[in-house]
Amino acid sequence: MWERVTVGQSGAVVSRRNGVYRKESDDPSADLAGEGERLGWLREQGLPAAEVLECRPGLLVTREVPGRSWAGPWPPESLPRIIDALADLTRALHALPTAGCPFDQRLDVTVPAALSADVDLDDLDEERRGWTRDGLVAELLATRPPDEDLVVCHGDLCAPNVFFDPGTCRVTGLIDTGRLGVADRWVDLAIATRSMTDERNPQYGPWAADRFLERYGIAPDPAKTAFYRLLDEFV
């Protein structure tokens, strides 16, 4: 019997059985076939990602990634190691040649998609609670960065989507790669640091976001951080 999985906000129906995960959706925008292609491409690049067992429109079946996500319970002494391993994984992902990536997530693609998407106004980040959709759109267009520092991005580098070995704290795999593609590196950095300061992950905090960026090797960019977190509201 398949067991329903309720962790995550992909919008798809996710279930598991005997070390296998099944994701189903009748929403064409979910593009589960495209997510499967991205997982396969990542594995071809030598990066850890869930193994695809079946992939077709509306259905994605993958083998379970061992370990647990960085959203899970971790002993306090492991938390800095988790942050460091995540930063190293992010650097490795961003170091992949953009010319070899067949997936495009540049702003010329993602902003028009955002403008045509529905927005769950009841699930906005705290700093935007109470905003209208028109207000979100106006802010998105007004704050669009004039340039993009393009790398290969995961696209949704939040706490439930990266798994680690409990003993070594090494990354064991990435999941939910439906938004992977060439994009500004701050797509990943903004979402990852938001997860570290989210009330749903109280084991982390501002110290983790600071450590992550320092280990990655970049100074904070408040403008791009704010923009890409705003863009994520439309997904």
pLDDT in tens, 169-196: 999 999 999 999 999 999 999 999 999 9
Tell me, yes or no, whether 32 and 81 share the same domain.
no
Per-residue pLDDT tens, the chain, 235 aa: give them: 888 887 655 568 999 999 999 999 988 778 899 999 999 999 999 999 999 999 999 999 999 999 999 998 899 999 999 999 999 999 999 999 999 999 999 999 999 999 999 899 999 998 899 999 999 999 999 999 999 999 999 999 999 999 999 999 999 999 999 999 999 999 999 999 999 999 889 999 999 999 999 999 999 999 999 999 999 999 8
Range of the domain at 53: 3-63
Catalytic residue set: 156
Can you give the CATH number for the domain in which 45 is found?
A: 3.30.200.20
> Distance between CA 153 and CA 177 in Å, rounded?
9
- The answer to whether the CB of 52 falls within 8 A of the CB of 60 is yes
Q: Pick from 48, 63, 78: which residue ends a domain? A: 63
Tell me, yes or no, whether 120 and 206 share the same domain.
yes
Tell me, yes or no, whether 75 and 42 share the same domain.
no
The tokens 């994009």 sit on which residue?
A: 183
Structural domain count of the chain: 2
The tokens 């890409």 sit on which residue?
A: 228
Helix (H) or strand (E) holding 129: none
Tell me, yes or no, whether 110 and 9 share the same domain.
no
Residue 170 CA, distance from chain mean position = 18
Tell me, yes or no, whether 200 and 170 share the same domain.
yes
Tell me, yes or no, whether 45 and 127 share the same domain.
no
Can you give the CATH number for the domain in which 160 is found?
A: 3.90.1200.10
Tell me, yes or no, whether 78 and 126 share the same domain.
yes
Q: Which residues are bridge partners to 13 per DSSP?
A: 24
Tell me, yes or no, whether 28 and 117 share the same domain.
no
For residue 70, the SS3 value is coil
Tell me, yes or no, whether 156 and 138 share the same domain.
yes
Tell me, yes or no, whether 40 and 55 share the same domain.
yes
pTM for this structure? Answer: 0.94
Tell me, yes or no, whether 100 and 27 share the same domain.
no
Tell me, yes or no, whether 44 and 150 share the same domain.
no
* DSSP per-residue string spanning 134-158: HHHHHHHHHS--S---EEEE-S---
> Distance between CA 112 and CA 10 in Å, rounded?
20
Residue 3 CA, distance from chain mean position = 24
